[in-house]
Amino acid sequence: MTDAAASKASPSRPARVGESGLPIKPVYGPDDLAGWTPASQLGEPGSYPYTRGVYPTMYTGRPWTMRQYAGFGTAAESNRRYHQLIEAGTAGLSVAFDLPTQMGYDSDAPIAHGEVGKVGVAIDSIDDMRLLFDGIPLDQVSTSMTINAPAAVLLLLYQLVGEEHGVDPARLSGTIQNDVLKEYIARGTYIYPPKASLRLVSDIFAYCQAELARFNTISISGYHMAEAGATPAQEIAFTLADGIEYVQAAIDAGLDVDEFAPRLSFFFVARTTLLEEVAKFRAARRIWAQVMRDRFGARNPKSQMLRFHTQTAGVQLTAQQPEVNLVRVAVQGLAAVLGGTQSLHTNAYDEAIALPSEKAARLALRTQQVLAYETDVTATVDPFAGSYAVESMTDAVEEAARSLMETVEDLGGAVAAIEKGYQKAEIEQAAYQISRDIDGGERVVVGVNRYVVPDDERYEPLRVDPTIEEAQRARLARLRADRDDDEVQGCLAELRSAASGSDNVLYPMKRALAARATVGEVCDALREVWGVYTPADAI
């Protein structure tokens, strides 16, 4: 071997840089963990600092909750898909809403034209929610709803339907995303200014504590930041900074940390870079446990646990050679499991092209089932514990994330940093670098910039019926003609009054929805009081 070749192969020379820009060494050994103490940095599974997982037995007793994200077109169409998923063995539903619903607009609003039912299901009123969950045993399934600014509205509609099914609200379980801060950073489906949004989040915390004790009140999300280009370190840093902001807002509203914090949950991505993703999840748990214990004085162990849902990385799926996405999703799912997720959604291989077909959705679920029942990764807790490589990478990701969190704190906290554009600018810079690396061939994407097939096989995507918008408009017209409009207007007036003061807005909101007020009418009532946020409002 030549001197140059020997130098190139030397273990002391980094051969690769990870997603967070941190070096990955060809070989790790004892020297990389000098001064490292398992007792303080690892602990036992289910114990502080939860590096090894939030539960002592993790998957050795039962696997994670297997969710599949679904929802498209009409409520009736989505309901059929939910029944198919339940029959295929899924234990949790995950609802995708269309853009008008996510933005708090009815299907017949002019701004909704062309978007009704396109990227999720259209929900305008309690009538649609009844159809969506028709025949679904709501006391036996856990339902996650990807909804943010109008989260309270959809949660209350779910509760109302559950009550109509005869289910005690205390037995309803699931999660609402309800994380509007990340919308200002990376996604854009916000409605109200940040201060009003935090007020609404705190009201939801208090309401669920009293009425829906098994519901996770928020899913603080790094997934969408990662989809926008955030590195693993940025993903957990900005997500945990948002979590700190929510916790502080709830405490400022008079809530006790150990009463609401056990229902907080998180939502992260799983990329194909398996080792760094495992390190990311472990670092996130350790940081959050320390923040909750030392900064907020949480004493309930459940308040210190970072429980999270994971979705495989949609941004890494390719339209070229879509079947290769099956391999990507399997690796990403494995990373989530080895990282200790509490629930998992695996993307369908065709999602880079269109909404997933029935077969593709079933294959995505089967991927999880193979991981759970045909591998041995569920036989032992945190199999990477003590690994020279993974423990070193966990420490490195933690250090990088804490540095970013300190910058957010120096700027005045998550909201102040959002208003200064800090997180958004950092993520955009990371996304730009990824794009350059792909274009330059430094980052290999199989089927895109290497191992390309000249003519991909023709793929027929799932298509949404273009008449859905017309049908939804007709349903709204019938609803408005049939309901007691005086009752609706009276309930909306009560809602505006509560929003103008300090009363919890969810109680009058529930009465309005039960009277068949629409999603758009309820959100408009709050818009009248709280206003709307635009990027121009940022400093």
Query: Tens of pLDDT along 257-287?
Result: 999 999 999 999 999 999 999 999 999 999 9
Q: How large a percentage of the chain has pLDDT more than 70?
A: 94
Give the model confidence (pLDDT) of 497-519 as tens digits: 999 999 999 999 999 999 999 99
What is the rounded CA–CA span in Å between residue 404 and residue 360?
Answer: 38
Burial grade of 385 (CB within 10 A; 0-12, 13-18, 19 or more): middle
pLDDT of residue 160: 98
User: Is the residue at 165 inside a domain?
Assistant: no
Handedness of CA 73, 78, 80, 84 (dihedral sign): positive
Contact yes or no for 180/131 (Cβ under 8 A): no
User: Is the residue at 51 inside a domain?
Assistant: yes
CATH of the domain at 363: 3.20.20.240
Local structure of residue 30 (DSSP, 8 states): G
Q: Tell which residue, 372, 373, 365, 374, has the closest CA to residue 90.
A: 365
* Residue type present at position 436: R
What is the rounded CA–CA span in Å between residue 292 and residue 377?
Answer: 30
Residue 70, beta-bridge partner list: 95
Sequential DSSP letters for 108-129: TSGGGTTTTTSSSB---SHHHH
* Residue type present at position 60: T
Residue 146, beta-bridge partner list: 96
Handedness of CA 363, 59, 148, 80 (dihedral sign): positive
Q: How large a percentage of the chain has pLDDT more than 90?
A: 85
pLDDT of residue 456: 62
User: Is the residue at 247 inside a domain?
Assistant: yes
User: Is the residue at 15 inside a domain?
Assistant: no
Cα-based angle 488, 491, 495 (whole degrees, multiple of 5): 135
How many CB atoms sit inside 10 A of residue 376's CB? Answer: 7
Phi, psi of 85 (to 5 degrees): -65, -40
Range of the domain at 278: 28-62+222-338+346-427
> What pTM was computed for the model?
0.91
pLDDT of residue 9: 41
User: Is the residue at 264 inside a domain?
Assistant: yes
Q: Tell which residue, 178, 241, 190, has the closest CA to residue 426.
A: 241
Contact yes or no for 100/111 (Cβ under 8 A): yes
How many CB atoms sit inside 10 A of residue 534's CB? Answer: 9
Handedness of CA 128, 361, 171, 148 (dihedral sign): negative
Specify the number of domains making up the chain. 1
pLDDT of residue 357: 82
pLDDT of residue 2: 41
Number of residues assigned to the chain: 539
Helices and strands of the chain, counted as H and E runs: 22, 11
User: Is the residue at 275 inside a domain?
Assistant: yes
User: Is the residue at 522 inside a domain?
Assistant: no
pLDDT of residue 404: 98
Sequential DSSP letters for 316-339: G--SSSTTHHHHHHHHHHHHHHHT
- Secondary structure in 3-state letters for 425-491: HHHHHHHHHHHHHHHHCCCCCECCCECCCCCCCCCCCCCCCCCHHHHHHHHHHHHHHHCCHHHHHHH
User: Is the residue at 211 inside a domain?
Assistant: no
Local structure of residue 419 (DSSP, 8 states): H
Q: What is the CA radius of gyration of the chain?
A: 23
Instruction: Name the token pair of 242.
Output: 């948002």
* Residue type present at position 278: V
Contact yes or no for 274/338 (Cβ under 8 A): yes
Q: Tell which residue, 311, 201, 211, 182, has the closest CA to residue 264.
A: 201
Mean pLDDT per block of 10 residues along the chain (539 residues) reads: 41 72 95 91 95 97 86 86 87 89 97 92 97 95 94 98 97 96 94 96 97 96 97 98 97 96 97 98 98 98 97 95 96 98 95 84 94 97 97 98 98 96 96 94 93 74 77 96 98 98 98 98 98 71
Phi, psi of 101 (to 5 degrees): -65, -45
